[in-house]
Amino acid sequence: MAYNLLKGKYGIITGAIDENSIAWQTALKCHEEGAKIVLTNAPIALRMGTLNKLAELTDAVIIPADATSTEDIENLYEKAKEALGVEKIDFLLHSIGMSPNVRKKKHYADLNYDWFQKSIDISALSFHKMMQVGEKMDFFKDGASILGLSYIAAQRSYPNYGDMCQAKAVLESIARSFGQRLGESKGIRVNTISQSPTVTTAGKGIKGFNVFYDYADILSPLGNATAEDCANYCVTMFSDLTKKVTMQNLFHDGGFSASGMTEKLIDKMMSEVEE
């Protein structure tokens, strides 16, 4: 059911690659709620052509941009103005993450440091770049909402999540620093949503992902949040209902981050002991 929460709003959605992507689901919801959007992803990701289907479903234009390149971001914003027919946007979703070390299963004590820098550049600095370029081009409307997607590995150690733990910590810190600046100057909100483990291309690339997933699910009173649940939360954050929420890392994880133990986990462990 749609509520027209984003009627009259214009935005950019990064990071949709297939229908499992959190960004894919978010684009669908934004469209459903009345927003006009531009979709973007790295040129290499667009070669697969899957994004065309989402563009059709959401009546959106696709503009390629490598989010680590300031030139590409400038070009994205210029072209988005033409595509949307507006000078400024109301919302931006940064849904980008990639670690070559994680992808190539490099152990945390054997990291390739060039790849480490790539992980930070792609997964965190790109968030800064999208805001820095946007501020210089005066591309964000007063009161706009900017969101990044994070994971609880920014606060807690997670084996196999490797250097992405650091990348997410940097991402969340950037949200606070830029959030303060853009809040004071233009009433713009900047937040990160810390999402449950979700079955996506990025998620599945993590060794032992199924165990992460099951453990979080059993320790969350509400169970893991799906990509669609996350999309709904993103819509709320882009809407006018959350105008005073900024500089926050918002846990969207079924209660996992505040749980010590759950009945579900006790029962499971007891039954294993009894077996």
- Any binding-site annotation on 15? yes
* Token representation of residue 238: 């882009």
User: 161 catalytic, yes or no?
Assistant: yes
- Any binding-site annotation on 168? yes
Which residue number, 42 or 92, has a Cβ lying nearer to ligand NAD? 42
- Any binding-site annotation on 129? no
Residues 176-235 that bind ligand NAD (CB under 6 A): 195, 197-198, 200-203
Which residue number, 121 or 135, has a Cβ lying nearer to ligand NAD? 121
DSSP string for 61-111: EE----TT-HHHHHHHHHHHHHHHT-SSEEEEEE-----HHHHTT--GGG-
How far is 50 from 38, CA to CA, in rounded Å? 15
List the one residue from 5, 83, 90, 95 that touches ligand NAD (CB under 6 A).
95
125 binds ligand NAD (CB under 6 A): no
- Any binding-site annotation on 96? yes
CA distances from 257 to 9, 138, 141, 186, 223 (A): 32, 36, 33, 32, 12
Q: What is the DSSP letter of 48?
A: T
By DSSP bridging, strand 249-252 and strand 89-94 are unpaired
Residues 57-86 that bind ligand NAD (CB under 6 A): 66-68
Q: Could you say which of 10, 77, 161, 233 is catalytic?
A: 161
Which residues belong to the annotated binding site for NAD(+)? 15, 21-22, 96, 168
